[in-house]
């Protein structure tokens, strides 16, 4: 069984939010910024929380993010997107497994995250632990093992023209998929457009 002491929570909030037209992490629902709502979900299940941002976001996030959450900046890596945020975290915390949650998943609940952690604890011999819903693998929320992130990072350093994305990472490792009976597709939706905020 996995030890929760090695598990860390990570909020991804370093995207450029082009389709939304404003920084998604700082959008507020009921006076709470999305990035803080996501962080509170992870903190409520007992995890330390870091938030991955770009350098250009630090000033705005420093005034809005709850002080209990740690702000980390993306590293200069050869990949982009969510994988960049995930591997940047690994550079800061190379010994930590990580539960990753983007800031723009407003329908995720604490019980969903607890289910994922329980699955992770009871299926320890894997590299990643994610949900499968409607025959689709959902990379987020997901848990990724430090040992596997080390291998992925090493692979990227050795490749002349790295083309990896997060889905490649899941397909290349021992990914355990959890099929919940009571969770709907809505839970896994990302809010990408202004109309999604309603």
Q: Quick one: DSSP state of residue 7?
A: E
| Rounded CA separation 198/191 (Å) | 10
**CATH number for the domain including 148?**
3.90.550.10
| Rounded CA separation 93/90 (Å) | 5
Q: Minimal CA–CA distance to 192: which of 103, 124, 117?
A: 103
Do 41 and 110 form a contact (C-beta atoms < 8 A)? Answer: yes
Count of domains for the chain: 1
Question: Residue 176 has which token pair?
Answer: 């355990």
DSSP letters for 129-168 = EEEEETTEEEEEEEEE-HHHHHHHHHHHHH-SS----HHH
- Residues 197, 54, 5: CA angle, nearest 5 degrees: 90
Cis preceding-peptide flag for 141 (omega within 30 of 0): yes
Q: Which long-range CB contacts under 8 A does 177-181 form with residues at least 24 apart?
A: 177/130, 177/131, 177/132, 177/137, 178/115, 178/116, 178/119, 178/129, 178/130, 178/131, 178/132, 179/131, 179/132, 179/133, 180/112, 180/115, 180/131, 180/133
Residue 189 domain boundaries: 4-197
pLDDT by 10s per residue, the chain, length 198: 555 668 999 999 976 555 555 688 888 888 899 999 999 999 999 999 999 999 999 999 999 999 999 999 999 988 888 999 999 999 999 999 999 999 988 889 999 999 999 999 999 999 999 998 878 888 999 999 999 999 999 888 887 656 677 887 778 889 999 987 766 666 766 655 445 555
């Amino acid at each position: 069984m996995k030890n929760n002491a090695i598990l860390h929570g990570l909020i991804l909030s370093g995207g450029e939010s082009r389709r939304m037209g404003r920084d998604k992490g700082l959008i507020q629902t009921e006076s709470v910024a999305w990035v803080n709502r996501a962080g509170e979900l992870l903190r409520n299940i007992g995890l330390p929380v870091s938030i991955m941002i770009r350098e250009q976001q630090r000033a705005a996030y420093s005034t809005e993010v709850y002080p209990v959450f740690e702000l980390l900046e993306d590293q200069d890596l050869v990949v982009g997107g969510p994988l960049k945020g995930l591997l940047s975290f690994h550079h800061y915390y190379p010994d930590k497994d990580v539960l990753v949650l983007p800031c723009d998943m407003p329908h995720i609940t604490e019980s969903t995250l607890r289910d994922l952690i329980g699955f992770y604890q009871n299926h320890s011999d894997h590299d990643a632990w994610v949900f499968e819903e409607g025959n689709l693998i959902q990379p987020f929320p997901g848990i990724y093992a430090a040992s596997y992130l080390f291998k992925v990072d090493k692979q990227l350093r050795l490749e002349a023209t790295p083309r990896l994305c997060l889905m490649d990472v899941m397909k290349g490792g021992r990914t355990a998929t959890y099929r919940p009976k009571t969770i709907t597709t809505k839970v896994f939706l990302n809010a990408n457009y202004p109309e999604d905020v309603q």
